[in-house]
Amino acid sequence: MVSKRQPIKKRKSLYASKIQAVIFENKHYTTTQARAWLKKARLHPIKKVDKKGKHLRYRIQSPTKFRSFATKKTGKHLSFIIGFPK
């Protein structure tokens, strides 16, 4: 008797995360410098810069794709918004 094998289903990792946005301190980065940094890092914003107070925010992906978020600060005057997919 030959048994049929079930196809392996790909599961999303519970710990899979992606960069949702990058936040630059505008005291240390101009919009031109921030865009150059994003280009060098191969990150492509989905819209123009969002200027809020002391920060420049570039969205890399829509926030509606994620169930929760975390902020990762670096010592170089920038932060990453990390999203965990739904």
The whole-angstrom separation of Cα 53 and Cα 23 is 12
Per-residue pLDDT at 45? 93
- DSSP-assigned letters across all residues of 47-62: S--EEETTEEEEESS-
In this prediction the pTM is 0.78
Check if the beta carbon of residue 79 is closer than 8 Å to that of residue 13: no
Dist. CA 62–CA 86, nearest whole Å? 12
Query: Where along the chain do its domains lie?
Result: 18-85
Taking only the tens place, the pLDDT of each residue in 18-72 is 999 999 999 999 999 999 999 999 999 998 899 989 999 999 999 999 999 999 9
pLDDT surpassing 80 at residue 4: no
Residue 3 has pLDDT above 60, yes or no: no
* CB 15 within 8 Å of CB 70: no
